[in-house]
């Protein structure tokens, strides 16, 4: 009797797994078809200058390092700011709370594009001239810090009051409770959305090109594109690089999430 129940459950499970596999296969086939269609477009109906691409692809690829470098530095800055802003937001001390909400409101209330120009173009008028890369990182970091503070706040709030009470009851100080009990759980909660933010930051770093001081992918693409009036080709190449970068980062993110899913809660 029990034997029969188990095998029935197994059969149901197998049937479901078959369905899932079938669905995945079909999705992959559709993706390949869509990709093939894109390739076909650029080989027939849309004329592109492949000679130009061959000549310039390495030059554009040379910006990948800069793009990645800006993103890493900016996300590091953003993470620190976001954590401080989130702690301020949860503070019962009015000036801290005010500082945090003021920062978030100001940054979220203005365009990222404007903020980047502010650091490059407006500050020099006050006699403050920042190196190109530094100004770009500052603008992106400040901007993403404001958005990510919401994620961190949610992460901190997701840790129940009971967790703090249990920590306090075994004699932990508020600092120990924060460091050993609350933060690890909040970070675990915040890592998946942080991954998303990092991926969108690698793309938003293209905005920094507009100032002309940082020679990342987008800057290089527009430069060669405009010079020879091959904007179509240059932008296609840049788009390809951004897309590949996103795919790689998304893959890494999914691995990290799978690892985090083990052994929690």
SS3 92: coil
Binding mask 186-205 for another protein (x = CB under 8 A): --x-----------------
CB of 85 or CB of 181, closer to another protein: 181
- Compute the distance between CA of residue 226 and CA of residue 131 in angstroms, rounded to an integer: 25
Q: How near is the Cβ of 91 to another protein at its closest, in Å?
A: 18
Residues 225-264 that bind another protein (CB under 8 A): 263-264
Buried b (16+ CB within 10 A) or exposed e, 18-43: eeeeeeeeeeeeeeeeeeeeeeeeee
176: contact with another protein by CB under 8 A: yes
163: contact with another protein by CB under 8 A: yes
Output the six-digit token pair for 125: 């008028």
CB proximity list for 166: less than 8 A, separation 6 or greater: 181
30: contact with another protein by CB under 8 A: no
Tell me how far apart the 2 most distant CA atoms of the chain are, in Å.
84
Give the binding range for another protein (CB under 8 A) out of 9-17, 159-167, 209-217, 248-256.
Answer: 159-167
172: contact with another protein by CB under 8 A: yes
- Compute the distance between CA of residue 90 and CA of residue 167 in angstroms, rounded to an integer: 19
- Compute the distance between CA of residue 127 and CA of residue 83 in angstroms, rounded to an integer: 31
- Compute the distance between CA of residue 179 and CA of residue 182 in angstroms, rounded to an integer: 6
Q: How near is the Cβ of 157 to another protein at its closest, in Å?
A: 16
Taking residue 169's Cβ as centre, other Cβ atoms within 10 Å add up to: 8
184: contact with another protein by CB under 8 A: yes
162: contact with another protein by CB under 8 A: yes
Residue pair 67/216 in contact by the 8 Å Cβ criterion: yes
Torsion angles phi and psi, residue 130, rounded to 5: -95, 145
166: contact with another protein by CB under 8 A: yes
CB of 75 or CB of 181, closer to another protein: 181
181: contact with another protein by CB under 8 A: yes
CB of 186 or CB of 201, closer to another protein: 186
Q: How near is the Cβ of 37 to another protein at its closest, in Å?
A: 46
CB of 107 or CB of 181, closer to another protein: 181
- As to burial, measured by CB atoms within 10 angstroms (0-12 exposed, 13-18 middle, 19+ buried), residue 151 is buried
- Compute the distance between CA of residue 222 and CA of residue 236 in angstroms, rounded to an integer: 11
Q: How near is the Cβ of 170 to another protein at its closest, in Å?
A: 4
Total residues interacting with another protein, rule: CB under 8 A = 21
Binding site for another protein (CB under 8 A): 160, 162-163, 165-173, 176, 180-181, 184-185, 188, 263-265
């Amino acid at each position: 009797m029990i034997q029969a129940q188990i095998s029935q459950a197994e059969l149901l499970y197998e049937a479901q797994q078959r369905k899932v596999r079938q669905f995945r296969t079909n999705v992959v086939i559709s993706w390949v078809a869509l990709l093939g269609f894109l390739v076909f477009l650029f080989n027939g109906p849309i004329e592109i200058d492949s000679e130009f691409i061959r000549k310039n692809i390495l030059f554009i690829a040379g910006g990948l390092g800069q793009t990645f470098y800006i993103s890493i530095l900016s996300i590091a800055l953003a993470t620190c700011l976001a954590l401080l802003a989130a702690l301020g937001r949860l503070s019962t001390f009015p000036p801290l709370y005010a500082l945090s909400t003021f920062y978030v409101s100001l940054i979220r209330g203005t365009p990222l594009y404007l903020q980047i120009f502010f650091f490059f173009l407006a500050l020099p008028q006050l006699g403050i001239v920042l190196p190109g890369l530094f100004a770009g990182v500052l603008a992106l970091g400040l901007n993403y810090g404001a958005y990510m503070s919401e994620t961190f706040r949610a992460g901190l709030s997701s840790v129940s009051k009971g967790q703090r009470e249990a920590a306090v009851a075994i004699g932990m100080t508020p600092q120990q409770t924060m460091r050993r009990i609350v933060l690890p759980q909040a970070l675990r909660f915040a890592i998946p959305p942080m991954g998303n933010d990092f991926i969108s930051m690698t793309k938003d770093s293209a905005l920094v090109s507009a100032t002309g001081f940082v020679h990342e992918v987008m800057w290089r693409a527009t430069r060669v594109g405009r010079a020879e009036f091959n904007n179509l080709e240059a932008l296609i190449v840049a788009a390809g690089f951004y897309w590949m970068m996103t795919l790689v980062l998304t893959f890494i993110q999914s691995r990290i999430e799978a690892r985090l899913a083990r052994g929690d809660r």
